[in-house]
Amino acid sequence: MSVQENEAKGQAVLDKVYDYAMKGLPGSQAADQLAKEYLSKNNQNITKAVDALTKNQVAKCATTGFLTGLGGLITLPITLPADVTSSMYVQMRMIAAIAVMHGYRLHDDAVKTLVYSVLLNIELGNIFKQIGVKTTEKVAVSMLKKLPGKVLTKINQKLGFRFITKFGQKGIINLAKGVPFLGGFVNAALNLAETKAIAERAVRAFS
């Protein structure tokens, strides 16, 4: 499969999961609703709301029954273990909710790009170099908003390719060894640690 095909396939998966995160799956809230609920429960204190949200989502990612139950609801255009896609949904929705808590709109393409980079733990500065964009600034939503739409598309394609090379081109055993948040395929403690790390990256990215 060519690089372009891998980029397109990877981006399609990320876009699909992001769409699910914005709308919510049956029985689960959309990201913005989740953000509003936790802010309300914590008197609009963002730090406390994020902490409570993170603990809840970490617990969900560590629960095999939850992951298995979600597996049948998520159909993505790529062959992945069911609990990988379930974990991705929980984690991407968590990142999106944290973005909303900090005042960002999920329909903003720049926000979406940053959500992808947080999920995949990819430094966007490196992606910028690949596509020939020079910057001395820290990559943030405000900077991404200044970029033309076609440049954001190129960035998302590169993120899609990195997603495919990290998840989609390997067998389940290699996936489990290489990525510590794949639910039933790895130790639950590693799953907890990775989801917490994702939440911390999200706070740094959007605060």
158 Cβ neighbours under 8 A, 6+ residues apart: 7, 127, 130, 131
The tens digit of pLDDT for each residue in 78-110 reads 455 555 667 788 889 999 999 999 999 999 999
Quote the CA–CA distance of 63 and 106 in Å, as a whole number: 27
Q: What is the pLDDT of residues 10-41, one digit of tens each?
A: 888 899 889 989 998 888 899 999 999 999 99
Tokens of 109: 């393409």
Give the count of domains, the chain: 1
Please state whether 183 falls in left (phi above 0), alpha (psi between -120 and 50) or beta: left
Domain that holds residue 65: 3-206
What CA–CA distances, in Å, run from 24 to 15, 17, 56, 168? 14, 10, 16, 24
**pTM for the model:** 0.82
Alpha-helix runs per DSSP H in the chain: 3-23, 31-41, 46-61, 64-71, 82-101, 109-120, 124-131, 141-144, 149-163, 172-178, 188-206
Least confident of 40-49, 104-113, 176-185: 176-185
